[in-house]
Chain A
């Protein structure tokens, strides 16, 4: 037995020895392959490795131009003041690890020789930094027009951004490690001029952690207020951008920490055009260029907007809004009917985007005027009577209404109920003037509600919602901007989900006059007008390079359209028309056709009251000037991080308009939408010629559509004629031929 075991032991030792020798031979063979067979290749590789790290070459972000090629915003070289991230971390007292690494780096440079322990070192370092603060604030006060606490906020923002970035990069890489940004200076003050940067270099010569370096910023051209919302802004990429980057697999095109990207407006919508591709240069130690991949600059984005028209209409709108007592804002949208290109997209009030950083708190807190709101695209309003032609043509198309069908308007839907379902001309005091027995054309001209109540009931909610869907309500305008509001198409499902209500016949009546839950952005209303003008629907376009949008022809006969358009013509040109007195437009060749709308709306909240329990248990309340409850809560949480509160106890503190409307009336938005129709030799509209431009104008809380927006529409029409020329086709000329 023993000898058996010994023999087995010996055998197994031999197997072990054999195994190890075989493994050693495998390693030896691999070494022979690397060091003898392929030695020349690896020698060459080793030589090539002694190359300095590739340096990225920056690209220049593209400009945004208007339809005529005029530059609206472009990249401008400037300087920026950057602070080492370790110093920011040390100053905020948040990340000791990073701060200590920074302090140790300084010690290697010969500072803080007297500090022995880590704690002493950190203290010495912090003491050193604190001196910087006063100099930084002094400098900022003199050279960079920034608000109070701006620098402090910047420190926090930079720190939060880098930490979020670290998290996102860790997810992508699969493990957590410091990101490049943590060892890089972070920009704190941007856009320094030549003078400022010279002063800064002198002032901060003693602080090795402050760097003045070249950079670029977005520079808007002069007189650009009317474009502020459209163009939008660029900002630093954040963690979400890195996560959702479409170019993740291209190291030259991907977002990297410190990059900028468009965050709103066209800057964001045209990001793929404007953004270029980084280059890279690799230089050997002897200075020879080993490899150079040139950077590809971003291309220019061209808007369909006519700059001159945009600016003139902005001035016009500003006057109209200021004339109105209750109004603080308004919108004008002009579209090319055939292509649905946006020729003007004016939101009032606006601001000077070149001074955005400085004005921001003021703009944010101005809740009465809300200058940051991109009304033309991002706000939705009840379309009011501007929807009536759509209801009319839907009725005709469905066969539930004939051109000659008449309804009798006594001023009330129910003769015995005078408080509800009234016609628009009936005010608290009683019947001023009933429409009498009228057909569709007359109902549109006189904007008769009672006719539409009957029609809405006859069509039913499904047909109405089908019509709304057809013109894009609930689906957006297709303009491509991130701000684009979808509009509301209040289908029964929508009603149940959002209002928890079943459909009643009343819903159909309300929707038929463009009230109730149905909502549209001003661009969508302008698009409605273009649809009335040519009988086809298609989404709108803002960028010239985009492909034509798909078009859909409404299945109505020319006679049916004739009846609707005659009604629209009558609004301005027939004595019974709602805008006859205010917008009658005298021109031998062009007739202004349009539809007024006085869309009843509640005052909107401008400030919210938050009741909260403070840190030490006291019940307190505070007013947050914000337009929406969600924003108010977000801001409250940022400002009072330790307070507890219940979202139910966040109530409206103030509204705009402030007063109450006159007895028996409501506040209402004043709409006017229309198009310019060619006249024939007899002065009648020539319906065989398709209009070229359509537009919509809105004065928020402007009151009666005819009275407030009618005169504005008349002025818009003359501007269009003046700028586009007598044939109104000027904007369609291809570029290059233009102006020569």
Chain B
């Protein structure tokens, strides 16, 4: 059973509405940053560009709804391979300190962007969705991930792009992909204690990586701790005891140096108060130099500054609507690829939003992570629109007849089987629900 792209289910409409509200909030905020901009930075037409990208994103979403997410499954691995391979030139460029003839665009020491004619592409955005689809595709017919050894293949396959992204360096995206992989394995049915053991092992080994990550990344993590005034004073007083954390100098200059963005992000949010300064109003609106990246990574601070706690709660609510709707879609779907894709997309969007809001409020280290639908950024907009298109597509293709308990209507079910097969596009084996 399949609906036309214009005839959405109520859950579908809920998702569209929530994403729409977020996009409008985003465009409104970006428009405001355009009115006060620093000459020499990105020009004053960011809002317009964002609208155009959203229109492109809508087109992409229609396309995905039209072909259906099942067709994507056919190209899932190819997709994943292309997205992974796109990460390789970035790493090569970084190792050799070259731009490979203008192909790679380094920014602030990070090699994350590839310049195609007319398009600046960020492959680490692509890999997010590609990984969700590929993992769902891999897990759909298997049960061996219930053993510890069965987890090796999916984890190894996922670790390749994660390592590449980590080396770019883009710690944020890497840290986002890990929970997505774990959540998908978890809902797919992997044993909780296996996952917990692996997670604990990873957490236990993480300190070994500490001396090897880039110094600025280390500083970003310690910056969260240095928010605390007493700790900072301790570092200044006894620098020898805190060499692992920060130098005395870094503590002294924290406010103007490593902690600058965090200080101003919190100031912008906090000074919004309960109801905010109003659209286009407020100190941080009028002074573009105070908060760098306020139209992309730190757009949440601008939302809180203009619309206060109420605005922030609205944003969080929109994400919760998407999450709840996504979970509902997943639970109502019996076909395992669709289920896993739905869960993956939900986790992806929820984790991005939580990490971004966490870093703006000083709960998490600052990483280059966009706020889905709100932040300025081409690759991010397209990727998120495609992601919810996949989610809605799952809802559109839901085999309603199978929603009743399959054990009771065993006979009717077997009769339905061919129909289900063709619908699901699953050629090699029937869906696990039907099989037993």
Residues of A whose CB lies within 8 Å of any CB of B are 1-3, 5-6, 8-10, 12-13, 15-17, 20-21, 23-24, 26-28, 30-32, 34-36, 38-39, 41-43, 45-47, 49-50, 104-105, 108, 172-177, 248-249, 251
Q: Using Cβ atoms and an 8 Å threshold, which residues of chain A touch B316? A: 24, 27-28
A45/B343 contact (C-beta < 8 A), A3-B407, A16-B187, A17-B327 known: no
> Smallest CB-CB separation from A14: which chain B residue?
B327
Would A16 and B343 count as touching, CB distance under 8 A? yes
Would B253 and A46 count as touching, CB distance under 8 A? no
Q: Using Cβ atoms and an 8 Å threshold, which residues of chain A touch B343? A: 13, 16
Which one of B53-61, B204-212, B318-326, B415-423 is at the A interface?
Answer: B318-326
Which one of B64-72, B115-123, B154-162, B355-363 is at the A interface?
Answer: B355-363
B347 vs chain A, min Cβ distance (A): 7
A46/B354 contact (C-beta < 8 A), A3-B405, A35-B304 known: no
Q: Using Cβ atoms and an 8 Å threshold, which residues of chain B touch A27? A: 316, 354, 357-358, 361, 363
Would B270 and A24 count as touching, CB distance under 8 A? no
A45/B267 contact (C-beta < 8 A), A9-B187, A50-B283, A50-B290 known: yes
Would B40 and A13 count as touching, CB distance under 8 A? no
> Smallest CB-CB separation from B186: which chain A residue?
A12
A26 to B436, CA, bound (A): 42
With an 8 A cutoff between CB atoms, is B101 at the interface?
no
Would B187 and A43 count as touching, CB distance under 8 A? no
A27 to B347, CA, bound (A): 16
0/1 string, B374-412, CB within 8 A of A gives 1: 000000000000000000000000000000011100000
Would B109 and A21 count as touching, CB distance under 8 A? no
A390 to B187, CA, bound (A): 92
A21/B320 contact (C-beta < 8 A), A5-B189, A6-B433, A41-B270 known: yes
Which one of B85-93, B127-135, B170-178, B305-313 is at the A interface?
Answer: B305-313
With an 8 A cutoff between CB atoms, is B35 at the interface?
no
Would A8 and B189 count as touching, CB distance under 8 A? yes
> Smallest CB-CB separation from B435: which chain A residue?
A2
Would B350 and A20 count as touching, CB distance under 8 A? yes
Would B327 and A35 count as touching, CB distance under 8 A? no
Q: Using Cβ atoms and an 8 Å threshold, which residues of chain A touch B319? A: 24
With an 8 A cutoff between CB atoms, is B294 at the interface?
no
Q: Using Cβ atoms and an 8 Å threshold, which residues of chain A touch B270? A: 34-35, 38-39, 41-43, 45-46
Residues of B whose CB lies within 8 Å of any CB of A are 39-40, 108-109, 183, 186-187, 189, 214-216, 218-219, 239, 247-249, 252-253, 263-264, 266-274, 282-284, 286-287, 290, 304, 308-309, 312-313, 316, 319-320, 323-324, 327, 330-331, 334, 339, 343, 346-347, 350, 354, 357-358, 361-363, 405-407, 432-433, 436
> Smallest CB-CB separation from A48: which chain B residue?
B267
Would A105 and B40 count as touching, CB distance under 8 A? yes
Would B347 and A16 count as touching, CB distance under 8 A? yes
Q: Using Cβ atoms and an 8 Å threshold, which residues of chain B touch A39? A: 270-274
A177/B187 contact (C-beta < 8 A), A13-B330, A50-B283, A251-B252 known: no
A16 vs chain B, min Cβ distance (A): 6
Q: Using Cβ atoms and an 8 Å threshold, which residues of chain A touch B263? A: 45
Would A249 and B249 count as touching, CB distance under 8 A? yes
Q: Using Cβ atoms and an 8 Å threshold, which residues of chain A touch B269? A: 31, 34-35, 42
Q: Using Cβ atoms and an 8 Å threshold, which residues of chain B touch A1? A: 436
A173 to B346, CA, bound (A): 38
Q: Could you pull out 10 A-B pairs where Cβ atoms are within 8 angstroms?
A: A2-B436, A13-B343, A24-B316, A34-B266, A34-B269, A35-B308, A35-B309, A49-B287, A50-B283, A249-B239
Would A35 and B272 count as touching, CB distance under 8 A? yes
Beyond known contacts A8-B189, A42-B269, A249-B249: 16 more, CB 8 A cutoff: A1-B436, A3-B407, A6-B334, A13-B187, A13-B330, A21-B323, A27-B361, A32-B309, A35-B312, A36-B309, A39-B270, A46-B270, A50-B287, A108-B40, A174-B218, A174-B219
Q: Using Cβ atoms and an 8 Å threshold, which residues of chain B touch A13? A: 187, 327, 330-331, 343
Query: Which 3 A-B residue pairings sit nearest by Cβ, starting from the closest?
Result: A42-B270, A174-B215, A46-B271
A49/B253 contact (C-beta < 8 A), A26-B363, A108-B40 known: no
A28 to B319, CA, bound (A): 12
Would B109 and A36 count as touching, CB distance under 8 A? no
A681 to B346, CA, bound (A): 111
Q: Using Cβ atoms and an 8 Å threshold, which residues of chain A touch B432? A: 2, 5
A42/B308 contact (C-beta < 8 A), A16-B183, A27-B363 known: no
A662 to B331, CA, bound (A): 111
A177 to B304, CA, bound (A): 31
B170 vs chain A, min Cβ distance (A): 15
Q: Using Cβ atoms and an 8 Å threshold, which residues of chain B touch A8? A: 189
A724 to B290, CA, bound (A): 66
B interface SS class: helix
Would B252 and A30 count as touching, CB distance under 8 A? no
> Smallest CB-CB separation from B109: which chain A residue?
A175
A13 to B308, CA, bound (A): 32
A23 to B356, CA, bound (A): 12
Q: Using Cβ atoms and an 8 Å threshold, which residues of chain A touch B267? A: 42, 45-46, 49
A9 vs chain B, min Cβ distance (A): 6
> Smallest CB-CB separation from A254: which chain B residue?
B249
A2/B406 contact (C-beta < 8 A), A9-B339, A46-B284 known: yes
Q: Using Cβ atoms and an 8 Å threshold, which residues of chain B touch A2? A: 406-407, 432-433, 436
Q: Using Cβ atoms and an 8 Å threshold, which residues of chain B touch A49? A: 264, 267, 283, 287, 290
A46/B248 contact (C-beta < 8 A), A16-B347, A31-B361, A39-B273 known: no
Would B309 and A31 count as touching, CB distance under 8 A? yes
A29 vs chain B, min Cβ distance (A): 10
Q: Using Cβ atoms and an 8 Å threshold, which residues of chain A touch B304? A: 31, 34-35
- Most chain A beta-carbon neighbours within 10 Å: one of B189, B267, B331, B347: B267
Would B320 and A31 count as touching, CB distance under 8 A? no
Would A42 and B354 count as touching, CB distance under 8 A? no
Name the contact of B320 in the complex, choosing from A24, A174, A177 (C-beta under 8 A).
Answer: A24
- Most chain B beta-carbon neighbours within 10 Å: one of A10, A32, A46, A249: A46
A9 to B339, CA, bound (A): 9
- Most chain A beta-carbon neighbours within 10 Å: one of B187, B239, B324: B187
Would B313 and A28 count as touching, CB distance under 8 A? yes
- Most chain B beta-carbon neighbours within 10 Å: one of A28, A34, A249: A34
B96 vs chain A, min Cβ distance (A): 15
- Most chain A beta-carbon neighbours within 10 Å: one of B214, B283, B433: B283
A17/B324 contact (C-beta < 8 A), A27-B361, A175-B109 known: yes
A176/B273 contact (C-beta < 8 A), A2-B432, A13-B187 known: no
> Smallest CB-CB separation from B342: which chain A residue?
A13
Q: Using Cβ atoms and an 8 Å threshold, which residues of chain A touch B40? A: 104-105, 108
Q: Using Cβ atoms and an 8 Å threshold, which residues of chain B touch A41? A: 270
A47 to B269, CA, bound (A): 13
Q: Using Cβ atoms and an 8 Å threshold, which residues of chain A touch B334? A: 6
> Smallest CB-CB separation from A250: which chain B residue?
B252
Would B216 and A45 count as touching, CB distance under 8 A? no
B145 vs chain A, min Cβ distance (A): 13
A27 to B346, CA, bound (A): 18
Q: Using Cβ atoms and an 8 Å threshold, which residues of chain B touch A50? A: 283, 286-287, 290
A686 to B123, CA, bound (A): 94
Would A9 and B283 count as touching, CB distance under 8 A? no
Q: Using Cβ atoms and an 8 Å threshold, which residues of chain A touch B287? A: 49-50
Q: Using Cβ atoms and an 8 Å threshold, which residues of chain A touch B214? A: 174-175
Would A175 and B187 count as touching, CB distance under 8 A? no
Would B216 and A174 count as touching, CB distance under 8 A? yes
A173 vs chain B, min Cβ distance (A): 8
A36 to B269, CA, bound (A): 10
A12 to B343, CA, bound (A): 11
Q: Using Cβ atoms and an 8 Å threshold, which residues of chain B touch A6? A: 334, 433
A9/B268 contact (C-beta < 8 A), A3-B405, A35-B273 known: no
A9 to B431, CA, bound (A): 15
Q: Using Cβ atoms and an 8 Å threshold, which residues of chain B touch A172? A: 249
A560 vs chain B, min Cβ distance (A): 53
Q: Using Cβ atoms and an 8 Å threshold, which residues of chain B touch A45? A: 263, 267, 270-271
